[in-house]
Amino acid sequence: MTDPQVAVFMLGIFVFTILLGFPICFTLIAMGVGFGYYAYYDAERMRSIFDNQIFDLLVNQTYSVMANDVLTAVPLFLFMGYIVERANIVDRLFFTLQIALRRLPGSMAIAALATCALFATATGIIGAVVTLMGLLAFPAMLKARYSPSFAAGVICAGGCLGILIPPSIMLIVYAATSNVSVVRLYAGAILPGFMLAGLYILYVVGRAMWNPSLAPKPREEDIPDVTIFQTVIMMATSFFPLAFLILSVLGAILFGLATPSEAASVGALGGLVLAAAYRALTWDRLKEAVYLTVRTSAMVCWLFVGSWTFASVFSYLGGHDLIQEFVVSLDLTPIMFLILAQVIIFLLGWPLEWSEIIIIFVPIFLPMLPAFGIDPLFFGILVALNLQTSFLTPPMAMAAYYLKGVAPPHVQLMDIFRGIMPFLSMVILAMLIIYTFPQIVYWLPTTLYGR
């Protein structure tokens, strides 16, 4: 076998191993070291079996991850999200929005979407958002006689919004992978993110008006007797503090007042202050938040170590060149290349999480972007939109499985799948709009920072 063929074989073995259920980060390291030993083997230079450059490469990649300033923001944003989750702030938020929107068609679904969007931007962990909202909002909607499939679709779709809406951890990881400015990525993602959330809300209101049985209006006896003044007070004590924290962090980044890491530090401190203000900051909750932050951050960092080692060996063997030559030989137009790349990422989303796709597979496409005249910023926003579909598409829709794990027994997986499909069409519509009107991505970065 030639070296490029070995590289392709290496990639195939990796995908097969992941499908068997092996841990991804350690599989990447093992594959990188194993194939790297072959790639860098030099019998004349090696004085012992351990005198191989692959071990130097592994150490250097580990140091590079530790020294990467961009990645410092990851544990800080994670801690902000986990402390907000553990302090039960989301419970108050959903209840307040439910009351404030009670006169709208599908009011509880809109409140769930708004809560999901705000909480998803704070934590960025889809499993945590869908699970928590599945325990909090899903039973409330079922009790209000909402269609189980309709309610399930709302929870799953809303829980995925944190991939796209800043301050998204996924965009930080993409920035570290592609060398695109985090600030420009955040600015480019704001309008597409809120556009997608707006499409979700429009769909919910339209379906509730067209078929009221899906989302019945609350009965008079179920509507709390709350005045407008009391509603404003509730919003001021639940919705606005969390929204102000997130907007302050995001605004500091966008307007150059702080780096992403500095803003994330303020966000983490703000999360602690909020939890203390709500008298929900206990030692046990603080320990849980720290433990979850360390665990998730370690996973992301080891993924970087493994993926950069794997990618270096893959490239050294000629794998990147082989794939690039093959794609270029297809004589694709830029639009055709974008569609091909998005279809591949869409399919990879079935067995893999977003972190593995961004760190391992997206770098395969990045060197090809200049050949097709595609901006990595635009490509990154499309990938972030695309990854919504990977979590919502049966049969491997992970958001559906997260919800099924906490849903009542009578709610079947097929019910959840049926509820997801209309929201999936909203994501595809959003991607088509972005394809057609790319200024939705470029307008804010250009306005704030120029070209």
pTM: 0.82
Query: What is the tens place of the pLDDT at every residue in 378-402?
Result: 999 999 898 888 778 776 777 888 8
Lowest mean pLDDT among 108-112, 130-134, 196-200, 393-397: 393-397
Domain extents in the chain: 1-66+304-317, 68-281+318-449
Q: Which residue has the higher pLDDT, 201 or 242?
A: 201
pLDDT of residue 54: 81
**pLDDT at residue 115 tops 70:** yes
**pLDDT at residue 223 tops 70:** no
pLDDT of residue 242: 77
Question: What does the H/E/C string look like for the chain?
Answer: CCHHHHHHHHHHHHHHHHHCCCCHHHHHHHHHHHHHHHHCCCCCCCCCCCCCHHHHHHHHHHHHHHCCCHHHHHHHHHHHHHHHHHCCHHHHHHHHHHHHCCCCCCHHHHHHHHHHHHHHHHHCCHHHHHHHHHHHHHHHHHHCCCCHHHHHHHHHHHHCHHHCCCCCHHHHHHHHHHCCCHHHHHHHHHHHHHHHHHHHHHHHHHHHHHCCCCCCCCCHHHCCCCCHHHHHHHHHHHHHHHHHHHHHHHHHHHCCCCCHHHHHHHHHHHHHHHHHHCCCCCHHHHHHHHHHHHHHHHHHHHHHHHHHHHHHHHHHCCHHHHHHHHHHHCCCCHHHHHHHHHHHHHHHCCCCCHHHHHHHHHHHHHHHHHHHCCCHHHHHHHHHHHHHHHHHCCCCCHHHHHHHCCCCCCCCHHHHHHHHHHHHHHHHHHHHHHHHCCHHHHHHHHHHHCC
Query: What is the tens place of the pLDDT at every residue in 94-104?
Result: 888 887 777 78
pLDDT of residue 192: 93
Span 405-431, average pLDDT:
88
pLDDT of residue 204: 93
Q: How many percent of the chain have pLDDT more than 70?
A: 92
Band the pLDDT of 429: cuts 50, 70, 90: very high
Lowest mean pLDDT among 69-78, 225-234, 388-397: 225-234
pLDDT of residue 379: 93
Query: What is the tens place of the pLDDT at every residue in 244-293?
Result: 888 888 888 888 788 888 888 888 888 888 888 888 888 888 898 889 88
Lowest mean pLDDT among 13-22, 70-79, 104-113: 13-22
